[in-house]
């Protein structure tokens, strides 16, 4: 017999609000207190968090093991990672604002397009654009719309894409889709590359620079050595590590990569979350 709900025992390294509201994914909706609806891999999943349990539905145990265990990175021990990072005073403070953050393993294509949309944009707007694209061009699924596949999105006109409020990024999205459907870039095959080679491939896409590539590598390829540097991270790092002295972006990035190594990605995410939750400026 199969049940339609999967129950996860909760610890301090899983908080659905921290996971979703830390700026790493955009295809979700808040329904209530610690109660969310997410869309990923052409499925809608409801998640309700209680004090000691997290309920996922509709979802069988098999489905949870097959899809969501990896999506939520449940085989990684975040308590252990946090213990290491807390040796740094700044990180100890940052972790306190998002103890339940986990780095998701999102769909490559959706993640890549989402972060192309993210450039010079704000999180609520990114969510809105992703939603527009899904509702207009994604296939209808139970309780929502999937994010469209490459073939479908590649056939959408620049004008129609702009109607989804992509703005100047529409041509970037189309270039990305084009390079994938022509197999100039194969997102599945990128999994086998080193982080350095993967970065080189992603940078071939118009509208994808180092920051967007790093986000894609971190949030959909499990590359924890990636350290995305955006305006928030730059400001926060300059403040906490350089006494408010201005530094170039690539300098901040090298500093982060060297300081945190394979924990760069998660360290960056605690810092980013800390910065946006405290509205850290200057």
Partner DNA sequence: GCCCAGGGAATCG
Partner DNA sequence: CGATTCCATGGG
Per the CB < 8 A criterion, the answer to whether 232 and 194 are in contact is: no
Q: Does 253 help bind DNA (rule: CB under 7 A)?
A: no
Tokens linked to 112: 């890549």
DSSP string, 187-221: TTGGGGS-HHHHHHHHTTSTT--HHHHHHHHHHHS
30 vs 248: CA distance, rounded Å: 36
- Cα 240 to the center of its chain, rounded Å: 24
Q: Does 231 bind DNA (CB under 7 A)?
A: yes
For position 276 contacting DNA by CB under 7 A, the verdict is: yes
- Asked whether position 239 contacts DNA by CB under 7 A, the answer is no
Q: Which is nearer to DNA, 58 or 167 (CB)?
A: 167
**By rule CB under 7 A, what string of x and - marks binding of each residue 165-194 to DNA?**
x-xx---x----------------------
**C-beta closer to DNA: residue 110 or 149:** 110
Residue from 85, 83, 167, 88 nearest 120 by CA: 167
Q: Which of 87, 122, 140, 188 binds DNA (CB under 7 A)?
A: 122
Q: Minimum distance from CB of 53 to DNA (Å)?
A: 27
Within 10 angstroms of residue 35's Cβ, the number of other Cβ atoms is 16
**Binding region for DNA (CB under 7 A):** 22-24, 115, 118-125, 162, 165, 167-168, 172, 206-213, 215, 228-233, 268-269, 272, 276
């Amino acid at each position: 017999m199969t049940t339609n709900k999967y129950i996860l025992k909760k610890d301090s390294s899983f908080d659905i609000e921290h996971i979703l509201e830390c700026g790493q994914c955009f295809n979700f909706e808040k329904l209530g207190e610690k109660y969310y609806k997410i869309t990923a891999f052409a499925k809608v999943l409801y998640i309700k968090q209680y004090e000691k349990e997290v309920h996922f539905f509709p979802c069988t145990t098999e489905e949870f093991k097959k899809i969501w265990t990896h999506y939520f990175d449940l085989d990684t021990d975040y308590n252990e990672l946090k213990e290491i990072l807390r040796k740094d005073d700044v990180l100890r403070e940052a972790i306190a604002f998002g103890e339940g953050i986990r780095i998701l393993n999102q769909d490559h294509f959706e993640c890549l397009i989402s972060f192309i949309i993210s450039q010079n944009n704000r999180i609520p707007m990114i969510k809105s654009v992703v939603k527009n694209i899904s509702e207009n061009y994604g296939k209808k699924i139970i309780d929502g719309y999937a994010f469209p596949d490459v073939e479908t999105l590649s056939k959408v006109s620049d004008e129609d894409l702009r109607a989804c409020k992509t703005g100047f990024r529409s041509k970037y999205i189309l270039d990305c889709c084009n390079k994938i459907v022509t197999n100039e870039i194969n997102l599945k095959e990128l999994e086998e590359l080193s982080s350095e080679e993967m970065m080189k491939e992603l940078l071939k896409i118009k509208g994808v620079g180092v920051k967007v590539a790093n986000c894609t590598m971190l949030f959909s390829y499990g590359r924890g050595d990636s350290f995305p540097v955006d305006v928030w991270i730059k400001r926060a790092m300059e403040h906490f590590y350089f006494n408010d002295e201005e530094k170039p972006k690539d300098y901040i990035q090298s500093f982060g990569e060297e300081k945190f190594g394979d924990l760069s990605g998660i360290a960056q995410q605690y810092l980013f979350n800390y910065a946006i939750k405290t509205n850290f400026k200057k």
